[in-house]
Amino acid sequence: MILKVIFYLFSAILVFAAVRVITAKNPVHAALNLVLAFFSSAVIWMLLHAEFLAITLILVYVGAVMILFLFVVMMLDINMAVLREGFNRYLPFGVLIGALILLEMVLVVGSKFFKTTAPVAENISNTLMLGRALYNDYIYAFEIAAVILLVAMVAAISLTIRPPRQTKYQHPSEQVKVKREDRVRLLKLPAEKSE
């Protein structure tokens, strides 16, 4: 009973926060609402005994990613009015399409499937099992995911790096070795005749 109350409470908060993320006018509010959404979903994961995922979500997303995000939002003075110019114009159409797709999917799928009956395993460390699966059964997929991150890094750097500006500095050795011919140019000017 108490679990159900917690579940519905945090689900409601999650849905509310998620809606606020896309409707908030102030980007800082949107980012903070996203933090709230992450936190509520972490609690729901906790209810499913997925403590490792819950902790990772908070540590990685709330602790690192969202803080960076907030930094970026505060440092770059983004004019949100320009960004959301098209938002209201396309909103009715987007909502219509989304609702149609949702309706179609609900008609086909419904909620009568995907009900898990498997009991939640007890006395087994979630972290241990995840680690085993990741590093034994799925090591190949894990490595490929690592390569994808590497590519993302290479691509991001190659798209943003600018070559160092050519600074003008002096070479003393060149200056010492300079010869008269390099600097002095003799010009033959016709003598001016006096009238």
Partner 1 sequence: MHLLLPEIFMLGMICIILVVDAFLSEKLRDVTYHLAQGTVAITAVLTFFNSSETPVYLMNHLFVSDALSLVLKLAVFILISGVFLYSKDYLKDRNLYKGEFFIMVLTAMLGMQVMISAHHLLTLYLGLELLALSLYGLVAMHRDSSQAAEAAMKYFVLGALASGMLLYGMSMLYGLTGSLQLDQIAQVIAKGELNKNLLTFSLAFILAGLAFKLGAVPFHVWLPDVYQGAPSSMTLLMGTAPKLAGFALLMRLLTEGLGGLHADWQIILIVLAILSMGLGNIVAISQTNIKRMLAYSTISHMGFLMLGILTGTIQGYNASLFYVLAYSFMSLGAFGMIILLSRAGFEAEQLEDFKGLNERSPWLAFLMLIFMLSMAGVPPMLGFWAKWSVLTQIVSAGFFWLAVLAVLFSVIGAYYYLRIVKLMYFDKSQDNTAIETSSEMRAAISVNALSILALGLSPQILVQLCSHVFK
Binding site for partner 1 (CB under 8 A): 105, 108-109, 113-114, 136-141, 143-145, 147-148, 150-152, 154-155, 157-159
Q: If you search the block for the tokens 């590519």, which residue do you land on?
A: 151
112 or 193: CB nearest partner 1 = 112
3-class secondary-structure state, position 166: coil
3-class secondary-structure state, position 161: coil
Q: How far is the CB of 53 from partner 1 (least distance, A)?
A: 17
Contacts of 73 (CB under 8 A, 6+ apart): 27, 28, 31
Q: Which two tokens stand for residue 161?
A: 């790096």
Q: How far is the CB of 10 from partner 1 (least distance, A)?
A: 23
117 or 194: CB nearest partner 1 = 117
163 or 172: CB nearest partner 1 = 163
Q: How many Cα neighbours within 13 Å face the side chain of 178?
A: 10
Q: Kindly state the DSSP code that residue 120 receives in the 8-state scheme.
A: P
Q: How many Cα neighbours within 13 Å face the side chain of 169?
A: 5
Distance of CA 19 to the CA centre of its chain: 19
110 or 172: CB nearest partner 1 = 110
Q: How far is the CB of 36 from partner 1 (least distance, A)?
A: 25
Q: Per-residue DSSP letters for 75-108?
A: HS---HHHHTHHHHHHHHHHHHHHHHHHHHHHHH
114 or 169: CB nearest partner 1 = 114
Q: How far is the CB of 151 from partner 1 (least distance, A)?
A: 5
Q: How far is the CB of 137 from partner 1 (least distance, A)?
A: 5
Q: How far is the CB of 115 from partner 1 (least distance, A)?
A: 11
63 or 94: CB nearest partner 1 = 94
